[in-house]
Amino acid sequence: MTTTGMQQRHGTGSGSGGAWVSGWTAFAGAMMILGGTMAVFEGISAIVHDDVFIVTNSYSYNFNLTGWGWIHLILGILVFFAGIAVFRGELWARITGIVLAGLSMIANFIWLPHSPFWAIVLIVVDAFVIWALCVGTDRDAARTTA
């Protein structure tokens, strides 16, 4: 079977998208959906009950919790829908996913004094998402043909 035939059968072609993805791209999409959902819940909790979080006055980045709640909510929604688009195999979704995961890492770094464990978990998830989206479907296709 040719390489193109193998790529079409496994849905790993680098063409126009729309095919089912496999391997690390599917992992990245699932982690984006999970991370986006966690960010949405984090944002809602910061908007509705901002007295739940610890406020440290001596931290370098001192922001309003309600404002950060809106940032996490909007960013979480964007990451969630980009994760769904990654499952379709679209190139724009992979690029958007890398950018949004990077922004999410920055937002969670600044969020560290308010919820350290949760922020570190999301930073690690975002790092894996960026790595998995950079690995891409072309490397998965090369392994299946070898």
Q: Is 105 a member of any domain? A: yes
Amino acid at 90: E
Per-residue pLDDT tens digits for 18-73: 455 568 888 889 999 988 998 899 889 888 876 666 566 665 556 677 888 898 89
* Domain of residue 81, residue span: 22-50+63-145
CA angle 18, 24, 30 (to 5 degrees): 75
H-helix segments, 22-90: 24-48, 65-87
Q: Is 89 a member of any domain? A: yes
pLDDT greater at residue 60 or residue 108? 108
Burial class of residue 51, CB neighbours in 10 A (0-12, 13-18, 19+): exposed
Q: Is 9 a member of any domain? A: no
Confidence at residue 8, expressed as pLDDT on a 0 to 100 scale: 43
Q: Rounded to whole angstroms, how far apart are CA atoms 58 and 53?
A: 15
Q: Is 124 a member of any domain? A: yes
CA dist 120 → 7, 116, 132 (Å): 36, 6, 18
What mean pLDDT comes out for the span 106-111? Answer: 85
Residue 123 has pLDDT above 60, yes or no: yes
Number of domains in the chain: 1
Per the structure block, which two tokens stand in for 57?
A: 């006055």
Of the pLDDT bands very low, low, confident and very high (cuts 50, 70, 90), residue 111 is confident
Confidence at residue 18, expressed as pLDDT on a 0 to 100 scale: 44
Q: Is 114 a member of any domain? A: yes
Q: Is 7 a member of any domain? A: no
Q: Is 37 a member of any domain? A: yes
Q: Is 94 a member of any domain? A: yes
